[in-house]
Amino acid sequence: MTDRRPSGPRPATGVRSPTGDAHTDRATSPVVGVVVLVGITALLASVSLAVVGLNHARPAAAPQVHLSAELSATDGWPSGQRLRVVHEAGETLVVSDLAVVVELERSGERARLRGFPTRRLTDEHRRGADLFDRTYAGVDGELDAAHGDGRWESGEAASLRIAQHEFDVRSGDDATVRIVHWPSGATVATVEVAAS
C-alpha cells in the first residue's frame, strides 16, 4: 500500500511565521482567560483585605458621661487647692484610658495628665505646665491606684491637688477641665469651674 496524499492546496491551519513554521491562535484564548481570572482573584483578595483592615482601624467609641467639678481655693495641705471631678451619670470610664487636661484662665497655664491610676504624679504623667502636687496627696479617688479599682462609675469622684507653690488658687479663679478618652482621642467631657 502506498501512502497517498491528496494533491492540491492544503487547507489553512494557521498563519505561517516569517520562519515558515505554522502556528495557531487556538491556545491564546485559554491563556488570556487564566490571566484574567488570576487578576480578578487578586483584586478581590486585596479589596476584601482592605475592607477588613479598615474595619479594625476604626478608633474605639468614646464613652458618654456627664461630669461636674469643683475647685477649692482654700489654703492648706493636703486638702487645699483641690480640683474634684464627680462622675454624675453615664457609662463607666476605664481610668487607664483617660487623660485629664486642666487649663487655668488667670495664668493661661495648661497641663495634661495621663497614666492613671497612680499613687503620685511624676513627669511621666504630665505634659505642659507643672501645676500639680507630686506628693501622695496630689491624686485621690478613682485616679489613685491605692483607692480606686481602675473603673470610674457614676457617683464616684476623683481629685487632683494644685500645688500651692506653683499656682495660688484664689476665689473666683476659673479653670477648664477636659476628660479625654485616649483610645479614641475624643473629649468625653468639658467642665468649666470657678474656685470657691
pLDDT at 13: 52
Distance between CA atoms of residues 99 and 183, nearest Å? 10
Model confidence over 37-88: pLDDT tens digits? 888 888 888 887 777 766 555 566 889 999 999 999 877 766 778 999 999 9
| pLDDT at position 22 over 80 | no
| CA geometry: angle 48, 52, 186, nearest 5 deg | 145
For 139-181, what is each residue's pLDDT tens digit? 999 999 998 899 999 999 999 999 888 888 999 999 999 999 9
Taking the C-alpha atoms of residue 174 and residue 35, their distance in angstroms, rounded to an integer, is 70
Sign, CA dihedral 144-146-151-157, equals negative
Q: Looking at residue 32, what is its pLDDT? A: 78
Rounded to two decimals, the pTM is 0.68
Q: For the segment 110-141, what is each residue's pLDDT rounded down to a tens digit?
A: 999 999 999 999 999 999 999 999 888 889 99
Give the contacts of 28 (CB within 8 A, at least 6 positions apart): none
pLDDT exceeds cutoff 90 at 20: no
